Amino acid sequence: MFDQNELQFEMVQLLDENGNGDEKELESFSDEFLITMYRWMSKVRVIDERLLKMQRQGRIGTYAPFSGQEAAQIGSVLALRKDDWIFPSYREIAACLAHGLPLEQIFHYMRGRVIGKGMPDDLNIFPIQIIIGAQTLHATGCAWATKLKGETQVSVCYFGDGATSEGDFHEAMNFSSVYQVPVIFFCQNNHYAISVPVHKQMASRTIAQKALAYGMKGVLVDGNDALAVYKTMKQAVEAARKGEGPMLIEALTYRLGPHTTSDDPTKYRSVEEAEQWRWKKDPLHRLRVLLEKRGLWSDTDEEEWIVQVNDEVTVAYEKAIANEAGSLVEVFDYVYGIPSKLLQEQQQEVARRKQMEGVE
């Protein structure tokens, strides 16, 4: 008889909820790095809050907030090289921004512009995936391609706990392990897949332990501890780059807001639970405590930084709304890198009809 007690996963943690940790371990992080990490986490928190307000004001479309998950996203993406690939879902805006995506592009996407799904040529970021779990297959395919081509990039796939209930996740895990491709499956376990708690999705105690069934390493990390996430991801990426195969990382975190702006989280979780995570386990708080202990951050620094970020958001939004280019004809440009003959004919037909209608 199988006993779940045989599977023990100790959670990796460097900073506790009060910003305390082993001093020798923490000394390995430079002051400059800590400030950079905190600035990114604080920046994306401000951006997330602004985007949520903009949606309520009708200035952008449906939005999936990520506040509470800043440490998981920023801590992981800062461990990557700029030429590494990331495969985001709709909740990984923080990771995309830290990997180089312009904020203006986020607004194009949120406003439903044709160019919003495109990614700058100099960025290895796949288009934001809406279909739950589908990006796990894309990341595996990309990692396989880099291996076959003898390249050194690592592919990182971001997804939530709900995606582990999809067949795509299991297929990707199996394939990547069989072919030992350089891919990291990074699961942000925020406790609820839309409205379904983890215990109703699976009987296993952790998501990390699912890695064992596919012959790969699984790690459980405190997803609200940015330093622990960074260290864990750094080790995973280095191993994958050396040809040691894939890894599954479960970052235990919490979504403070709704699943999307069309969701009411009070229908499936208590206000007390959410407040406990907001005030007792905030990822920004524990890192800021460490900065303050080192004399690296103050209330004045915080206020000045928030003003600067808010200004950046306003400028990016104004640039985005000033460029509302895009038409049905251009949609065909975003299907394939090299369009098929049939696709070209369809595009030409649409262009011809629009010309007849007098529509540019």
299-303 contacts at long range (C-beta below 8 A, 24 or more positions apart):
302/42
Q: H or E stretch including 156?
A: strand 155-160
- The DSSP annotation for 195-210 comes to TEEGGGT-SSS-STTH
- 90 catalytic? Reply is no
Distance between CA atoms of residues 119 and 244, nearest Å: 29
User: Which residues have C-beta within 8 Å of that of residue 21, sequence separation ≥ 6?
Assistant: 13, 14, 15, 227, 290
- 81 catalytic? Reply is no
CA angle 308, 310, 316 (to 5 degrees): 105
- 259 catalytic? Reply is yes
Q: How many CB atoms lie within 10 A of CB 58?
A: 7
**Which of 45, 113, 138, 259 is the catalytic position?**
259
Q: Are 118 and 106 in contact (CB under 8 A)?
A: no
Q: Is residue 218 helix, strand or coil?
A: strand
**Which of 81, 268, 294, 353 is the catalytic position?**
268
Side chain identity at residue 297, one-letter code:
W
Q: Is residue 142 helix, strand or coil?
A: helix
Token couple for 222: 């405190």
By CB atoms closer than 10 A (0-12, 13-18, 19+), residue 22 is exposed
**Which of 91, 108, 255, 286 is the catalytic position?**
255
Q: Is residue 190 helix, strand or coil?
A: coil
Catalytic site positions: 255, 259, 268
